[in-house]
Amino acid sequence: MKGRQAAMAVRVAVVAVFLLLLEVLCRSGVISPLVMIPPSAMLISLCEMLLAGDLTDDIVRTFGTVAVAFAAATVVGFAVGALVHALPRLRRALDPILASYYSVPFFVFYPLLVALLGLSVLPLIAIAFAFAAPAVVMSTLLGLDRVPPVLLKVARIHRLGPASTVFHVVLPAALPSILNGIKLALAYAFIAVIAGEFILSGGGLGYHIAYAYESFDNKTMYGLMLFVLVSAILLNGLLHMWEGRLLRRRQR
Amino acid sequence: MSRFTRATDLAVFTIVILALWQCLYDYAGEVAITAPMATFRNAGDLLVKPEFWPNVGATMLAFAYAFAISAVAGVALGVLLGVRRFAGEVAEPILAAIYTIPKVTLYPVMLLAFGLGMSAKVAFGVIHGVIPIVLFTMSAVKNLSPTLLRTVRVMRLTGWQAASTVIVPAILPEVISGLRVGFSLTLLGVLIGEMFASQRGLGFLIINGINGHNVRMMTAVTLIVVLFAVTANSLLLALDRHIHHHR
């Protein structure tokens, strides 16, 4: 435990030193203000925009899209994972897709989706879903594979019915892997939505960043970037903490 | 599984994909996507056109640089962080956090720092590809069996001998897995880079096809890119399984 706290302290120090270094380099002009503005200026710019309410629409739009895609990816991914696990023949057929799924540079399909679904949030949701769901499917499969057979035997000895076997034995045993998939799904949904907004969209945080970049508005651009980075890290940290709590409770 | 069933599965799989594609075409029509057969023909036409190859060359060159940098830097950093436990523990959550951020947002920074062109594309590929390689290598080194390390000490191997005869063979399977993931992500990074700001390359052809409503070009280039990615991935996956199997 002590080692972990020490690592945490050093980690915070490393990040702080890095930010400080960036600040000094920017302020002293080693990094030209045309390239990057100092981190403190990014923060100020972000606060100004947040207070003025300039970002509210974009935030609602982006996070709404992420939430819908993430929820759908988690539910559908889990259901498909469980189904495929129950049908070995189907699984063998799907194996090649799952194995090479993430090797396809996904954003090449985005224009296609825009053409199919129109320029709205639908193609964004579709691409974020398509990017996130397979991670849940794969981790569900992995988790179900890793349920120790001895636990299933115990369930049979205790004469548990199918429903209670699933709820009391299979799901808890598969939980760590499934949680991992859920964490990935959130990160992937976020990446896909922002990237999609960046490439082709009329709104949202990603679009706003691209727009600020094209109009050489470094102040706005870096403020927004900071917001996206911090919220991605925070969201991920929250899921991480939730995962830790669930897993600790399991160990008791 | 016999070779025959595997071949049948692959054939069924290909037919299903082509059928879905045809349905999509029937539903959406010529404005969104071209039909499978026509796309293969267009892709074939593209492949014999001389002006197509400089674009392939630009993408491949950027990709080769980016992947070489990701692989070398990733493995080196991974080994270092795996050997120095404490540094590894400090760095791992930071790396994991960087892995989850949408790196597209950093694209303007890359452009401002490296300028339009090759180096920005390479840098963009590297930031996508390097982290999984570091993480895989690091966990492989951390999970090295202590017996192996004790053997190294008992036999008084020098650093180089230990690395070449014990450590590298022991971590190789995980490193190959990491390189496979890194390979895909580097390619993704380079292509996205080309889509945003570039005058050349396959990503540029796709975005150009979109902007000019050139559906034929867009679909054909997409097909070529996907086929390349899937083929490369299957080869690496086969290598990966071969090495894991022969341990």
Residues of chain A contacting B207 with CB distance shorter than 8 Å:
111, 199
Does residue B66 share a domain with residue B26?
no
B120 vs A229, B66, B71, B125, B196, CA distance in Å? 20, 10, 18, 9, 11
CB contact under 8 A, A194 and B102: yes
Q: Which of B9, B107, B221 sits opposite A92 (nearest CB)?
A: B9
| Residue A117 pLDDT greater than 80, yes or no | no
In a domain, A16, yes or no: no
| Residue B1 pLDDT greater than 60, yes or no | no
Q: Is A21 in the B-facing interface, judged by CB distances under 8 Å? A: no
Residues within 8 A of B (CB atoms), A 79-98 only: 92-93, 96-97
Q: Which residue has the higher pLDDT, A239 or A75?
A: A75
In a domain, A21, yes or no: no
Kindly report the nearest CA distance between residue A176 and chain B, in angstroms. Answer: 17
Helix intervals (H) in B101-145: 107-114, 118-142
Can you give the pLDDT at residue A2? 64
Distance CA A48, CA A54 (A): 9
Q: In terms of residue numbers, what domain contains A189?
A: 43-251
| Residue A227 pLDDT greater than 80, yes or no | yes
Q: Which of B12, B32, B89 sits opposite A112 (nearest CB)?
A: B32
The number of CA neighbours under 13 Å toward the Cβ of B170 is: 21
| Angle, helix A171-199 to helix B168-196, in steps of 10 degrees | 30
Check which CATH number belongs to the domain holding A137 and give it.
1.10.3720.10
- Residue A171: count other Cβ atoms within 10 Å of its Cβ: 15
Picking from B131, B111, B108, the residue whose alpha carbon sits closest to that of residue B120 is B111
Can you give the pLDDT at residue B197? 67
Can you give the pLDDT at residue A29? 80
The confidence band for A77, taking pLDDT boundaries of 50, 70 and 90, is very high
Can you give the pLDDT at residue A73? 95
Distance CA A211, CA A58 (A): 13
In a domain, A130, yes or no: yes
Of the listed ranges A49-63, A104-118, A154-168, B63-77, the least confidently predicted one is A104-118
> Which chain B residue has its CA at the smallest distance from A217's CA?
B108
pLDDT digits (tens, 9 = 90+) for A17-32: 998 998 888 888 888 7
Choosing among A1, A107, A108, which should be mutated to test the B contact, i.e. which has the most B CBs within 10 A?
A: A108
CB contact under 8 A, A195 and B232: no
A234 vs A175, A238, B92, B223, CA distance in Å? 22, 6, 16, 37
Residues within 8 A of A (CB atoms), B 179-198 only: 181, 183-184, 187-188, 191-192, 195-196
Q: Which of B90, B112, B237 sits opposite A7 (nearest CB)?
A: B90
Kindly report the nearest CA distance between residue A225 and chain B, in angstroms. Answer: 6
Of the listed ranges A27-41, A107-121, A217-231, B25-39, the least confidently predicted one is A107-121
Determine phi and psi for B113, rounding to 5 degrees: -80, -40
Does residue B8 share a domain with residue B69?
no
Distance CA B145, CA B150 (A): 9
All residues at 6 or more sequence positions from B49 whose CB lies less than 8 Å from its CB, including other chains: none
> Which chain A residue has its CA at the smallest distance from B129's CA?
A103
Q: Is B20 in the A-facing interface, judged by CB distances under 8 Å? A: no
What total of structural domains would you count in chain B? 2
The confidence band for B130, taking pLDDT boundaries of 50, 70 and 90, is very high
- Three-state SS annotation for chain A: CHHHHHHHHHHHHHHHHHHHHHHHHHHCCCCCCCCCCCHHHHHHHHHHHHHHCCCHHHHHHHHHHHHHHHHHHHHHHHHHHHHHHHCHHHHHHHHHHHHHHHHCCHHHHHHHHHHHHCCCHHHHHHHHHHHHHHHHHHHHHHHHHCCCHHHHHHHHHCCCCHHHHHHHHHHHHHHHHHHHHHHHHHHHHHHHHHHHHHHCCCCCHHHHHHHHHHCCCHHHHHHHHHHHHHHHHHHHHHHHHHHHHHHHHHHC
> Which chain B residue has its CA at the smallest distance from A189's CA?
B102
pLDDT digits (tens, 9 = 90+) for B58-104: 889 999 999 999 999 999 999 888 888 888 888 888 888 888 888 87
| Residue A51 pLDDT greater than 80, yes or no | yes
Residues of chain A contacting B224 with CB distance shorter than 8 Å:
none
Can you give the pLDDT at residue B68? 95
The confidence band for A94, taking pLDDT boundaries of 50, 70 and 90, is confident
Kindly report the nearest CA distance between residue A141 and chain B, in angstroms. Answer: 19
Kindly report the nearest CA distance between residue A41 and chain B, in angstroms. Answer: 16
Residues of chain B contacting A195 with CB distance shorter than 8 Å:
102, 104, 192
> Which chain B residue has its CA at the smallest distance from A118's CA?
B32
| Angle, helix A121-145 to helix A171-199, in steps of 10 degrees | 150
Can you give the pLDDT at residue B74? 93
Can you give the pLDDT at residue A251? 64
What tokens were used for B63? 């990709």
Q: Which of A108, A209, A232 sits opposite B225 (nearest CB)?
A: A108
Measured CA angle at B203 (ends B201, B207), to 5 deg: 120
Q: Is B108 in the A-facing interface, judged by CB distances under 8 Å? A: yes
| Residue B181 pLDDT greater than 60, yes or no | yes
Picking from A129, A144, A235, the residue whose alpha carbon sits closest to that of residue A183 is A235
Check which CATH number belongs to the domain holding B182 and give it.
1.10.3720.10
All residues at 6 or more sequence positions from A47 whose CB lies less than 8 Å from its CB, including other chains: none
Q: Which of A102, A195, A233 sits opposite B97 (nearest CB)?
A: A233
Choosing among A70, A102, A104, A211, which should be mutated to test the B contact, i.e. which has the most B CBs within 10 A?
A: A104
B212-240: burial string, b at 16+ Cβ within 10 Å, e else: eeebbbbbbbbbbbbebbbebbeebbeeb
Cβ–Cβ < 8 Å for A216, B97: no
In a domain, A18, yes or no: no
CB contact under 8 A, B219 and A195: no
pLDDT digits (tens, 9 = 90+) for B212-235: 777 788 888 888 888 888 888 888
Mean local confidence (pLDDT), A92-105: 74
All residues at 6 or more sequence positions from A73 whose CB lies less than 8 Å from its CB, including other chains: A128, A129, A132, A133, A135, A136, A185, A188, A189
In a domain, A1, yes or no: no
Mean local confidence (pLDDT), B151-178: 85
Task: Give the burial class of A99: count Cβ atoms within 10 A of its Cβ; 0-12 exposed, 13-18 middle, 19 or more buried.
Answer: middle
pLDDT digits (tens, 9 = 90+) for A141-199: 888 888 888 888 888 898 888 888 888 888 888 888 888 889 889 988 998 888 888 87
Mean local confidence (pLDDT), A39-59: 86
| Residue B24 pLDDT greater than 90, yes or no | no
Q: Letter for the amino acid at B192?
A: I
| Residue A68 pLDDT greater than 90, yes or no | yes
Q: In terms of residue numbers, what domain contains B2?
A: 1-31
In a domain, A247, yes or no: yes
What total of structural domains would you count in chain A? 1
Cβ–Cβ < 8 Å for B189, B14: no
| Residue A1 pLDDT greater than 70, yes or no | no
Can you give the pLDDT at residue B3? 63
Task: Give the burial class of B147: count Cβ atoms within 10 A of its Cβ; 0-12 exposed, 13-18 middle, 19 or more buried.
Answer: exposed
Q: Is B167 in the A-facing interface, judged by CB distances under 8 Å? A: no
In a domain, A174, yes or no: yes
Does residue B111 share a domain with residue B15?
no
| Residue A102 pLDDT greater than 80, yes or no | no
Distance CA A66, CA B237 (A): 31
Can you give the pLDDT at residue A83? 92
All residues at 6 or more sequence positions from B25 whose CB lies less than 8 Å from its CB, including other chains: B33, B34, B35, B36
Can you give the pLDDT at residue A69? 94
Mean local confidence (pLDDT), A221-238: 87
Task: Write down the mean pLDDT value for chain B.
Answer: 84
Picking from B193, B67, B208, B182, the residue whose alpha carbon sits closest to that of residue B118 is B193
In percent, the amount of chain B with pLDDT more than 70 equals: 96
Q: Which of B28, B102, B234 sits opposite A115 (nearest CB)?
A: B28
Q: Is A107 in the B-facing interface, judged by CB distances under 8 Å? A: yes
Q: Which of B90, B102, B218 sits opposite A232 (nearest CB)?
A: B102
In a domain, A17, yes or no: no
Does residue B62 share a domain with residue B120?
yes
Does residue B237 share a domain with residue B155?
yes
Picking from B179, B184, B187, the residue whose alpha carbon sits closest to that of residue B136 is B179
Can you give the pLDDT at residue B63? 92
Can you give the pLDDT at residue A166? 83
Kindly report the nearest CA distance between residue A229 and chain B, in angstroms. Answer: 6
Picking from A69, A50, A37, the residue whose alpha carbon sits closest to that of residue A185 is A69
